[in-house]
Amino acid sequence: MAPMENDHPEIAMDVSGLLCPLPVLKARKRLNAMPPGAVLVVTATDPMSAIDIPHFCNEQGHALEQQSQTGTTFTFRIRRK
C-alpha cells in the first residue's frame, strides 16, 4: 500500500474474471467501507468495466483519477468522495 497525500492508504482490489455488474458492485461495497479521500485501485478484465466504472464514479461523485488498459486488463484509480 502506498501512502497518499491525505494519509489514507491506497487499497488495491482485483476483480479480474468477474463480469458486469460484479466489478462495480464490489467496488461500491469497498468504497463505502473506506474513509472519504481514500483511494481504491481496481483491476478488472470485463470490457464493460471501461464504461461501467467511470459511469458509477460520475453518478456517485467519486473522482476517477486514472483509467488505463494494458492488453485485456483495465485499471481504475478512484478517490472516494
Residues marked as catalytic = 20
Residue written as cell 479521500?
37
What phi, psi does 64 have (nearest 5°)?
-85, 100
Contact 24, 76 (CB under 8 A): no
Q: Which three cell numbers stand for residue 54?
A: 467511470
